[in-house]
Amino acid sequence: MVDSSFAGFVRRSLLALSREAPAAHRALATCMGTLSIAASVDHEPLVIAAHGDQLFVRSGAVPAAAQLATTRRALRCLLRAEHSLLDAIMNDELELRGTTDALARLDDCLSLYLRGAVRCPSFPSLLDEFLNGSRAARGDSN
């Protein structure tokens, strides 16, 4: 059975990035530098940090310079272009916290991650497993 947790998805997606788009992985690690990012999807917290050219994911809530919280449902809506990023923020479907500098770096890092992800052949199935993996268990059809 595939681990459909948020942490499992992030770990597998970063591994795919390192194997299938290594330049993007290196650029992401460089962009992050000493920035730590706390992210939570459906109240499942984790922290992403870089050390050199390596990216690390730790499960659990840990203070971080930049923080992002959302839900699988909101991510599906964003990916289907049913909502804009601004809509998600204004409707409290996406919460961002941090200093202006930390949030600007978070935006830069997220852009690098997404640019690399679209170049990874395995990414669509990883994303589908994450977005839909726990849906059957919840009986959710969205």
Q: pLDDT tens, 40-98?
A: 999 999 999 999 999 999 999 888 999 999 999 998 888 888 988 889 999 999 999 99
Given a cut of 80, whether residue 3 has pLDDT beyond it is no
Q: Does a structural domain hold residue 137?
A: no
Confidence of residue 134 (pLDDT cuts 50, 70, 90): low
Residue 135 has pLDDT above 50, yes or no: no
**CB neighbourhood size of 99 (10 A):** 10
Phi, psi of 96 (to 5 degrees): -120, 135
What's the structural domain count of the chain?
Answer: 1
- The per-residue pLDDT for 62 is 85
Task: Express each pLDDT in 11-49 by its tens digit.
Answer: 999 999 999 999 999 999 999 999 999 999 999 999 999
CATH code, domain with 57: 3.30.1050.10
Q: Look at residue 93 and tell me if it is in a domain.
A: yes
140 falls within a domain: no
∠ CA 49-50-56, rounded to 5°? 60
Phi, psi of 97 (to 5 degrees): -140, 145
Residue 97's domain comprises: 6-129
**Model's pTM, two decimal places?**
0.86
Say what the pLDDT of residue 63 is.
85
Using the predicted structure, report yes or no on whether residue 101 has a pLDDT greater than 90: yes
